[in-house]
Amino acid sequence: MILGIDVGGTHTDAVLVHNYQLIRKAKVLTNPANIMASLLEAAQKLISGENINNIDRIVLSTTISTNAIVQEKISRVAMVLLSGPGLSPETLDLGGDVYFARGYINHRGIPVKNVNSRQMNEISDEIARKQIRDIGIVGKFSSRNPQQEMDAAELLQNNSRHISLGHTLSGQLNFPRRIATTYLNAAIHDIYQRFVKDVQQFIEKIGADIPVYILKADGGTILIGKSMECPVQTIHSGPSAGIMGVLATARMKEDAVALDIGGTTTDISVFADGVPLLEPSGVSINGRKTLIRGLYTKSIGLGGDSVVQIEKGHLKIGPQREGPAAALGGPFPTPTDAMIVQGIVDFGDRQKALDAITPLAQKLHMTVQDAAVAIIEKMAALISDHVREIMAEINNKPVYTIHELLEGKIIEPKILYVAGGPAAVAPFIAKNLGYPYSIPEHSEVSNALGVALARTTAEVTILADTEKRELIISEEGRLQSIPRSFALADAVEVGKATLREKAAGMGARPEDIIMEVTESQEFNMVRDYYTTGKNIRVKVQIKPGLISAGAERANDV
């Protein structure tokens, strides 16, 4: 059995899953001041002395990292940058106390200037003087050769310091994003350590020795102990729980769109052949663009409690929310009131809803009923327009090969999944978009179900340069020599073996390590008309998805 807990802003939900099926669920109010208490309370509703020994794993989503960043409850960080020439550093959003140090690497991973130990010692003294304990080191092109970051770390390391290295957090290129990612990782390191200790105490309290996993931004799980080096990967754990929840309750295999309609906002996510899409470069948080692998989601300022107004004779909905629906005592008419007037949903004070819509109806020269329908249709139209815009944007994403340009996959949603309080608007949106809708069952605890059933995800990036006879795996900080004859197929093999090992270390069961090669390119390197080597680039991932159903059943028998 699996215990899944989703710590949301308002509620903490817990589910117990057996044989891939939901067997028990619980919901408690989240106490923002004491998240551990909420976790414990939700867990205790489902576990007892009898079933505790049948629980194989506990999986949690966490708001700790996101909240720390958004509320700026973060540590002071010294950033040491090996940037070399290029974009002027002043244009970058650097964060922290910044030290520019000598040393840089070019696009092929060849060192141009080395790290200077005397300068690094001076920086170290300065950091000590300022009593900063969290350090981030980032080099330009460090994902092409992590050696200089490692050299700098060796010179700056001491027992009282924690160092985050850029190359370990992503194999992708993007120096400004690598800086932001590393800065945030260092900045939340302390607070995340405390969270992990608390969780470990919580496990002791419930009196069991059960592995605990955390849900990452990419909808995958990681053993909590392993997550301590890369806490920044656990931001957006909540939104990714929502998307994994759609997957867990709908279990679709086709292209689809999912909407989570809340009071203030509607979150839109997209699935290709039943796999949730990832952000192409990485997620953004608090205005910072990062390299953190995360599920694609777009939030729009339109929800059940959005204010409805008449502007220049036309209906305007949102983006502001000024309280609950009028039917629940709010100050303004809302889409929820329109649904109550129409009898699509049944709660609150219908008379208050009618009273709130009436002045709008008069301005529009309509009956109250017609005005309510117009509001619902307007909301559906606005959401549909955003969905169409998002699909166009995704399908027009630039590609770099003729093959992809002419024959690349176009995502064509076949179904719309709708969750959230005002999901009753679903038929109107589906009609507007022209494909059917579905409201998955158990949607009140779908996030916790998604958390419980998410598989472990990971990615590795291989760069092999047979002219240099060198292979680099950035995320693993690995450099090794290769023979001249090393080929694309060899790189794919190394990638798979590395990923398998990495995923197992993160807590994946062998049957859940389903790998996919997302990039495999091999370029002839030609200098002066002679082939001098091959430049090989491979990415292998375990894509976000659910743990294998068959495997879980087998385990339980």
Q: List residues near another protein by CB under 8 A.
A: 84-91, 106-108, 112, 140-141, 144, 172-177, 281, 289, 396-403, 405-406, 521, 523-526, 528-531, 535
427: left (phi over 0), alpha (psi -120 to 50) or beta: alpha
Q: Which residue's structure tokens are 């027009």?
A: 396
As measured in angstroms, the least distance from the Cβ of 529 to another protein is: 6
Phi (first) and psi of residue 123, to 5 degrees: -65, -40
Closer CB to another protein, 88 or 131, in the complex: 88
Instruction: Report the distance separating Cα 185 and Cα 384, nearest Å.
Output: 36
Give the CA distances from residue 371 to residues 16, 53, 127, 531, in Å, rounded to whole numbers and listed in that order.
Answer: 44, 57, 64, 72
Instruction: Report the distance separating Cα 154 and Cα 128, nearest Å.
Output: 15
The answer to whether the CB of 290 falls within 8 A of the CB of 93 is: no
3-class secondary-structure state, position 330: coil
As measured in angstroms, the least distance from the Cβ of 138 to another protein is: 12
Closest CA relative to residue 412, chosen from 428, 432, 388:
388
Instruction: Report the distance separating Cα 29 and Cα 398, nearest Å.
Output: 44
Query: CB-based contacts of 297: which residues, under 8 Å, 6+ apart?
Result: 239, 242, 243, 267, 268, 269
Closer CB to another protein, 87 or 514, in the complex: 87
Closer CB to another protein, 37 or 525, in the complex: 525
As measured in angstroms, the least distance from the Cβ of 385 to another protein is: 19
Residue 4, judged by CB atoms within 10 A of its CB (0-12, 13-18, 19+), counts as buried
Closer CB to another protein, 79 or 302, in the complex: 79
Closest CA relative to residue 83, chosen from 62, 108, 63, 100:
100
As measured in angstroms, the least distance from the Cβ of 93 to another protein is: 10
The answer to whether the CB of 284 falls within 8 A of the CB of 236 is: no
Instruction: Report the distance separating Cα 89 and Cα 80, nearest Å.
Output: 12
Closest CA relative to residue 270, chosen from 389, 379, 190:
389
Closer CB to another protein, 345 or 491, in the complex: 491
As measured in angstroms, the least distance from the Cβ of 492 to another protein is: 17
As measured in angstroms, the least distance from the Cβ of 255 to another protein is: 20
Closer CB to another protein, 143 or 498, in the complex: 143
As measured in angstroms, the least distance from the Cβ of 525 to another protein is: 6
Closer CB to another protein, 36 or 525, in the complex: 525
Closer CB to another protein, 91 or 159, in the complex: 91
As measured in angstroms, the least distance from the Cβ of 537 to another protein is: 9
Closer CB to another protein, 398 or 483, in the complex: 398
Q: How many CB atoms lie within 10 A of CB 154?
A: 12
Q: Which residue's structure tokens are 């909420």?
A: 38
As measured in angstroms, the least distance from the Cβ of 533 to another protein is: 11
